[in-house]
C-alpha cells in the first residue's frame, strides 16, 4: 500500500487537481454513454412496438 492515510491518498502528492478530474471525467463519460444508450434502446423499442401495432 502506498498511502499512510486517506487524506494523503486524496491529496495525491499535491497533484489532486490533475489526477482526480482525469479519472472523474472518464467515469462521467462511461456513466453518460451507458445511460444514453439505455434511453435510446427503450425509445427504439417503444417506437418499433407502436409501428408494429398499427
d(CA 54, CA 37): 26
Q: Which of 32, 50, 30, 29 is nearest to 40 (CA)?
A: 32
Q: Does 31 bind another protein (CB under 8 A)?
A: no
Q: Does 10 bind another protein (CB under 8 A)?
A: no
Cell of 31: 456513466
Q: Does 4 bind another protein (CB under 8 A)?
A: no
Residues of the shown chain interacting with another protein in the complex, contacts defined by CB under 8 A: 1-3, 9, 12-15, 18-19, 21-23, 25-26, 29-30, 33-34, 37-38, 40-41, 44-45, 47-49, 51-53
Amino acid at each position: 500500500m502506498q498511502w499512510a492515510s486517506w487524506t494523503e491518498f486524496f491529496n495525491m502528492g499535491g497533484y489532486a487537481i490533475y489526477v482526480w478530474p482525469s479519472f472523474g471525467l472518464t467515469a462521467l463519460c462511461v456513466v453518460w454513454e451507458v445511460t444514453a444508450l439505455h434511453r435510446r434502446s427503450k425509445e427504439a423499442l417503444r417506437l418499433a412496438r407502436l409501428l408494429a401495432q398499427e
